[in-house]
C-alpha cells in the first residue's frame, strides 16, 4: 500500500473551525462510547468508492460499514471526514491520538487504515484491528484497445491516466524505462482516472481494483474493460485494509473486530461492497491456510 499518501492534498475539509477545544479530547474506549451513545469514526474525504460526500450526504463502503458498526454497538455514528495528510502516520496522529489543526477532535475509530504488522510496529500510540478487505492495483482500458492484457508500455504515444502522486502514477511514470512519462495524465483520484477512460479522455488508466469496479458499475452505459492479469513490474502486490483505535481503546477494538468478523461470516460485508459494484475480497490477514 502507498503508506506515504492516500490521495492529493486539499483543504482541511473535516476541520471544525478555530474555536475548537483548547485541549483535544481523547478517543473513547468501549464503555465510554456506550455511555455517550456515540461512536466517532474518522473517514477519508474524496475516497470514492470508500467514503465521500455528495450533495451534503455521506456515501461509500466505509460510510455504510461505520454505520453498521455503530448500530451493532447500540450507538449513533458520528462521521468525521478528514483530508489525507503527507503520510498515514500523520493521519493517525490527527484522527486518532492527538487531533488535527483547526480543532479537529480525535475519533474513536479510523477506517481505511493499513493493516500491515511492519507498519504497525512503528505506531506505538494506536492499535490496528479488524482487517476487512484486500486491495490491489489493476488497469482499465477503453474499448478501442483490442487487448487490455498487453504490457502497459504498448500504450506509448497514447494518453494514460493515474491519480497524482500515487503508486499508479509512479508506476506509469517510472517503469519500462520511463517511456510513458510524457503520456501520463493526472487526476485528483483513481476513480476519476478510471472514469476518464469511459469518457474517452485517456485510453488506459491504472487505479485500485475498487476504484475501477465502482467506475464501471456507476456508468454501465459507457463501455470499458478491466484488466484481468497482474500488471507487470507493479511495485505493490496488494494490501489489507483495516481500522485503528487508540492504544488505550483495545476494548473498543476487540468489539469492532467481533462485529466485522460476524458481518464477513454471514455475508453482510460482501453485500455492503456489492452496493457500490465492488467485489469483496477478504483481507489476507483473516485467511487461514490448511
Which candidate, 269, 21, 231, 289, places its Cα nearest to that of 134? Answer: 269
Q: Is the pLDDT of residue 250 over 50?
A: yes
Burial of 83 (0-12, 13-18, 19+ CB in 10 A): buried
Evaluate whether 3 touches 128 at the Cβ level (below 8 Å). no
pTM: 0.88
How confident is the model over 89-101, as pLDDT tens digits? 999 999 998 887 7
Measured CA to CA, the distance from residue 42 to residue 175 in angstroms comes to: 34
Q: Would you state the pLDDT for residue 86?
A: 86
The DSSP result for 41-96, as a single string, is: EEEESSBTTTBEEETTEEESHHHHHHHHHHHHHTSEEEEEEE---SSHHHHHIIII
Secondary structure class of 69 (helix, strand, coil): helix
Q: Is the pLDDT of residue 19 over 80?
A: no
Q: Maximum CA pair distance of the chain?
A: 61
User: C-alpha grid cell for residue 147?
Assistant: 487487448
Evaluate whether 87 touches 212 at the Cβ level (below 8 Å). no
How confident is the model over 31-86, as pLDDT tens digits? 999 999 999 999 999 999 999 999 999 999 999 999 999 999 999 999 999 999 88
Amino acid at each position: 500500500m502507498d503508506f506515504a499518501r492516500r490521495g492529493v492534498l486539499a483543504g482541511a475539509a473535516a476541520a471544525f473551525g478555530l474555536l475548537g477545544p483548547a485541549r483535544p479530547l481523547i478517543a473513547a474506549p468501549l464503555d465510554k462510547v456506550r455511555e455517550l451513545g456515540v461512536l466517532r469514526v474518522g473517514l477519508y474525504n474524496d475516497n470514492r468508492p470508500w467514503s465521500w460526500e455528495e450533495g451534503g450526504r455521506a456515501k461509500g463502503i466505509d460510510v455504510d460499514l461505520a454505520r453498521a458498526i455503530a448500530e451493532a454497538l447500540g450507538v449513533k455514528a458520528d462521521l468525521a471526514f478528514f483530508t489525507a495528510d503527507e503520510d498515514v502516520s500523520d493521519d493517525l496522529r490527527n484522527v486518532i491520538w492527538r487531533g488535527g489543526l483547526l480543532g479537529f477532535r480525535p475519533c474513536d475509530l479510523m477506517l481505511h487504515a493499513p493493516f500491515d504488522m511492519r507498519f504497525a510496529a512503528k505506531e506505538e500510540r494506536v492499535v490496528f484491528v479488524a482487517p476487512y478487505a484486500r486491495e490491489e492495483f489493476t488497469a482499465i482500458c477503453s474499448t478501442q484497445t483490442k487487448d487490455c492484457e498487453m504490457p502497459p508500455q504498448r500504450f506509448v504515444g497514447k494518453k494514460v491516466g493515474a491519480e497524482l502522486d500515487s503508486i499508479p502514477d509512479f508506476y506509469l511514470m517510472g517503469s519500462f524505462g520511463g517511456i510513458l512519462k510524457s503520456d501520463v495524465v493526472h487526476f485528483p483520484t483513481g476513480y476519476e482516472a478510471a472514469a476518464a477512460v469511459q469518457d474517452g479522455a485517456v485510453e488506459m488508466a491504472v487505479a485500485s481494483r475498487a476504484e475501477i469496479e465502482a467506475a464501471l458499475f456507476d456508468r454501465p452505459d459507457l463501455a470499458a474493460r478491466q484488466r484481468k492479469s497482474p500488471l507487470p513490474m507493479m511495485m505493490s502486490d496488494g494490501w489489507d485494509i483495516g481500522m485503528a483505535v487508540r492504544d488505550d481503546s483495545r476494548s473498543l477494538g476487540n468489539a469492532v473486530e467481533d462485529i466485522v468478523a460476524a458481518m464477513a461470516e454471514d455475508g453482510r460485508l460482501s453485500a455492503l461492497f456489492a452496493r457500490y459494484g465492488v467485489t469483496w475480497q477478504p483481507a489476507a490477514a483473516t485467511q487461514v491456510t490448511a
